[in-house]
Structure 1
Amino acid sequence: MLKILLVTLFLTPIVLLNCWITMTMSFLFLCLYWWLMGTNLGSLFFLELSFNAVSYILILLLVWLLILMLMSSYKLQYTLGSNMFLFLMFMLLLFLEMSFLTSDYLFFYIMFESSLIPTYLLILGWGYQPERMQASLYFLFYTLVASLPLLICFFVMYFDTGLLNMCYFSYYSYFSNSLFFIFLTMAFLVKMPMYFFHLWLPKAHVEAPIAGSMILAGILLKLGGYGLMRVLYINIYHMIILAPMIISVSMVGAVLTSFICLCQSDIKSLIAYSSVAHMGLVLGGVYSLYFWGWNGALIMMIAHGLASSGMFCLANMSYERINSRSLLLTRGMLSLFPSLSIWWFLLSAVNMASPPSLNLFGEISLINSLVSWSVWLMILISLISFFAAAYSLYLYSCSQHGVSINSVISSGPASLRELFLSFLHWMPLNLLIFFCWDWI
């Protein structure tokens, strides 16, 4: 682990010197470094780290999104707290990288909780409205309160077995009661989030700056899915008992949040609720315990991380020009900013899982898994797929078509940076489908 940690720690001087361009290039080289290291996944070095294809792909997504976060927040380099912003990006990279690399449950918990602090400071320090105080507290306390039972469970496991190694528990189940299993998974259900535990997510997204929304939608929600994949095999027996309840709640919750999306007038709130709907499908795939379910959950997490991050970027570009996120005030953008409208269309199409996007392959895998688990879920899956297309079209048509408000003053066409940023979100979504067969 030290070998990998040193590569990340070498970025410290760049953070202290406040070099944004150099920091972006360093993240790009780090992304290339991880891409090349993927050719050696079967080595003993990676097996000792409990490093597998899931960790590898999520670390690649993390570094790629950090590059895009710096590109989207370039105006902050001229403000007073630019050094602090770069430092928070660096700490997020460090904590999340260690979360995906460690093979010890206690160290994973420490890194899992440590990633809350930079995100909390991002929302609190660079949020748009005074309500960011309430949103950041919602985010912090929801996650912390749900995580305390997880820590207690890890201590109980250690006192009983003397071990907290992930590789050990992947071969030997730890037998306990159903309440223990609920406490073990609750932190990750809140993090994803599962329906009924999702109230913090729309508030955090609406009040967070663009970088905060991107890291929340792109990585932190996926950290919940990754944690579930790591702890579910600790007690397979109780997992099978509780799976019908979890899958039913997550699928019904996905339908209900899709309804809520159609009632939203705030662009960021609509995208946030759509994340809950997509994560409901992912949760169902993970708890189905089928091969196609886990494979589809991983692919859907990657695809949703890129698609939702791109849509938050486009929402921020519109906000910078119109100073509003309301669908009532942003209509008619097709005539004002035609170059941005094409990216709204492409990313909305990806969000509704149109071919040849990565979302399509993920949804097909998840549908295959969930229908194999129970044929009756086909009704809910049909509703989720239909409403995903409905709220994506609703978002695109309401924001791009119609007559623009006379008081809206255009700030000029989209810059090359904004167009390139949109392309870097959309391009992997349509190219990775040709590589995802290697993940199976």
Structure 2
Amino acid sequence: MLKYLFMIIFLIPICLLGNCWWLVHSLIFLLSFIFMISLYSYSDLSMISYYFGVDFYSFMLILLSLWICCLMITASSSIYFSSYHPNFFVFVVLLLLIMLFCSFSSLNLFSFYIFFESSLVPTLFLILGWGYQPERLQAGVYLMFYTLVASLPLLLVLFSINDVFNTLYYPLLIDYGSFYFLFYVFSIFAFLVKMPIFLFHLWLPKAHVEAPISGSMILAGILLKLGGYGIFRLMKVISCLGLSFNYFVLSLSLLGGVIISFVCFRQVDLKSLIAYSSVAHMSLVICGLMTMNWWGCMGSLSLMIGHGLCSSGLFCLSNIIYERLGSRSLLINKGMINLMPSMTIWWFLLSSSNMAAPPSLNLLGEFSLLNSIISWSSYMVLLLIFLSFFSAVYTLYMYSYSQHGLYYSGVYTCSLGYFREYHLLFLHWFPLNLLCLKGEYFYF
């Protein structure tokens, strides 16, 4: 594990070079391919060093982190071409990648907590340094305070676990036993806010709207998945409490997902719509993890990977239009088939993946999540029907409204897009649909 970590760390001095942008991009891309072929044990911890190790869950999320960070640099080429501190930008991306790599591969719960929290700092730099609107300061404060306030109780829980077991080394931990409701809430609250669960989701649309494209990609692609990964790891310690209290979180999450779907119908801001759709998708992931069965855990992993690629691609598409028209409003970004005819196919492909159409990985994830939630309680069927149906409705609304109909009269031109943009979208869509063929990895 350390060899990959050291490779990323030693990319940082390259940021001092005059023209490091595409060099770092290519090396991260190379590293992701080397890492891809390095896993030699599906079912157990592998590549173990003193503090780090990966299993199937963390392996996929580290790979997603490498992939998205590489695509972030491609998507943010406007920073490079306008010479708006490109070297510092690459440094922040590498710093964030190191934090994520260490979070997903930590075998010690305390070091996981440290890296989980410190991943906020580079994200804040991205929003404050390269954001567009003056409100980005408020969005940054929202992001920091929601996460920090929710995370402090988790620190108390870790001290409590350490007091009982005399270790926080993950493979040695067992079930904590039936203690009390507050312990359960403190354990998972930080991760639920990070995902985010309904009622604690307000920081996410705000952060997305104010963030640059790189901030939106890393936020939707990876940082939300830190919450799911944390619940998966900690559920081992609180499984006995979970049997008593999981129904509360599961019901709130599923009902919240349906309500958020209605909120999506009323959005006129493209980025805001995609951000709210992320909340709806993540509510399904939370439900899968709360069922505490194999279908749920594996379904949540495949939906997290699928959603990470899909929502990141949709943010790229909205940014491509924003760079040309200077607006994210659907009232201006309509009839885009007239402005960018060749980009419409990518809108369709990524929108269809977002509504879990075959052959996307989202379909595989949603199937197994529906399976696990219905096996947990058949009363959830009605809410699941609404959630799946409305997810298709707001995605079709976004696609048809942005691509079809009369175009805005202020748009007088036609644009074909750059090869870089098509390449970027292909690298989101291709693994998203290819991984569906690798289903045995998720359900071995």
Q: Using structure 2 for the length normalisation, give the TM-score.
A: 0.96
Counterpart of 2:151 in structure 1: which amino acid?
S
Cα 1:376–1:44 shift into 2, 3 Å: closer
Which among 322, 326, 339 is matched to residue 323 of structure 1?
326
1:77-92 to 2 correspondences below 5 Å: 77=80, 78-92=82-96
Distance of 1:396 and 1:32 partners within structure 2: 33
Matched, 1:229 2:232: yes
Which among 165, 168, 172 is matched to residue 172 of structure 2?
168
The Cα shift of 1:240 comes to: 1.2
Alignment correspondent of 2:218: 215
Counterpart of 1:432 in structure 2: which amino acid?
L
The Cα shift of 1:27 comes to: 0.6
User: What SS does structure 1 have at the residue aligned with 2:410?
Assistant: coil
Alignment correspondent of 2:13: 13
Alignment correspondent of 1:293: 296
1:300-315 to 2 correspondences below 5 Å: 300-315=303-318
Alignment correspondent of 1:46: 48
Distance of 2:259 and 2:45 partners within structure 1: 45
Segments of structure 2 that go 5 or more residues without pairing to the other structure are none
The Cα shift of 1:411 comes to: 6.3
Distance of 2:130 and 2:100 partners within structure 1: 21
Distance of 1:154 and 1:437 partners within structure 2: 34
Distance of 2:177 and 2:126 partners within structure 1: 38
Counterpart of 1:237 in structure 2: which amino acid?
C
The Cα shift of 1:413 comes to: 1.3
The Cα shift of 1:416 comes to: 0.5
Alignment correspondent of 1:71: 74
Residues 293 and 366 in structure 1, CA contact (< 8 A), matched pair in contact too: yes
Distance of 1:51 and 1:259 partners within structure 2: 39
Alignment correspondent of 1:34: 35
Which among 384, 402, 406 is matched to residue 405 of structure 2?
402
1:328-339 to 2 correspondences below 5 Å: 328-339=331-342
The Cα shift of 1:2 comes to: 3.4
The Cα shift of 1:46 comes to: 2.9
Residues 175 and 239 in structure 2, CA contact (< 8 A), matched pair in contact too: no
Residues 103 and 167 in structure 1, CA contact (< 8 A), matched pair in contact too: yes
The Cα shift of 1:406 comes to: 1.7
The Cα shift of 1:76 comes to: 0.8
The Cα shift of 1:176 comes to: 2.8
Counterpart of 2:69 in structure 1: which amino acid?
L
Distance of 1:242 and 1:286 partners within structure 2: 13
Distance of 2:303 and 2:79 partners within structure 1: 31
Counterpart of 2:157 in structure 1: which amino acid?
C
Bigger Cα displacement from structure 2, 404-413 vs 79-88:
404-413
Matched, 1:3 2:3: yes
The Cα shift of 1:43 comes to: 6.8
1:181-196 to 2 correspondences below 5 Å: 181-196=184-199
The Cα shift of 1:408 comes to: 1.7
Residues 188 and 225 in structure 1, CA contact (< 8 A), matched pair in contact too: yes
Q: Using structure 1 for the length normalisation, give the TM-score.
A: 0.97
Residues 197 and 282 in structure 2, CA contact (< 8 A), matched pair in contact too: yes
Distance of 1:56 and 1:31 partners within structure 2: 11
The Cα shift of 1:439 comes to: 2.5
Distance of 2:441 and 2:46 partners within structure 1: 20
Cα 1:398–1:43 shift into 2, 3 Å: closer
The Cα shift of 1:242 comes to: 1.1
1:141-180 to 2 correspondences below 5 Å: 141-169=145-173, 171-173=174-176, 175-180=178-183
Alignment correspondent of 2:368: 365
User: What SS does structure 1 have at the residue aligned with 2:257?
Assistant: helix
Distance of 2:71 and 2:140 partners within structure 1: 23
Distance of 1:437 and 1:372 partners within structure 2: 21
Residues 321 and 411 in structure 1, CA contact (< 8 A), matched pair in contact too: no
1:235-274 to 2 correspondences below 5 Å: 235-274=238-277
Segments of structure 1 that go 5 or more residues without pairing to the other structure are none
Deviation digits for residues 224-245 of structure 1 (CA, Å, limit 9, x no counterpart): 0000001111121111111110
Residues 50 and 102 in structure 1, CA contact (< 8 A), matched pair in contact too: yes
The Cα shift of 1:10 comes to: 2.1
The Cα shift of 1:37 comes to: 1.1
1:428-439 to 2 correspondences below 5 Å: 428-439=431-442
Distance of 2:364 and 2:423 partners within structure 1: 25
Alignment correspondent of 2:208: 205
Alignment correspondent of 1:352: 355
Residues 282 and 301 in structure 1, CA contact (< 8 A), matched pair in contact too: yes
Distance of 2:357 and 2:385 partners within structure 1: 15
Q: Percent identity?
A: 49
Alignment correspondent of 1:390: 393
User: What SS does structure 2 have at the residue aligned with 1:406?
Assistant: coil
Residues 46 and 54 in structure 2, CA contact (< 8 A), matched pair in contact too: no
Aligned residues: 439
Alignment correspondent of 1:22: 23
Residues 45 and 53 in structure 2, CA contact (< 8 A), matched pair in contact too: no
The Cα shift of 1:335 comes to: 1.2
Which among 139, 142, 146 is matched to residue 143 of structure 2?
139
Alignment correspondent of 1:412: 415
Residues 269 and 329 in structure 2, CA contact (< 8 A), matched pair in contact too: yes
Distance of 1:21 and 1:305 partners within structure 2: 23
Deviation digits for residues 252-285 of structure 1 (CA, Å, limit 9, x no counterpart): 0000000000010000000000000000000000
Cα 1:43–1:242 shift into 2, 3 Å: closer
Residues 322 and 410 in structure 1, CA contact (< 8 A), matched pair in contact too: no
The Cα shift of 1:8 comes to: 1.8
Residues 339 and 414 in structure 2, CA contact (< 8 A), matched pair in contact too: no
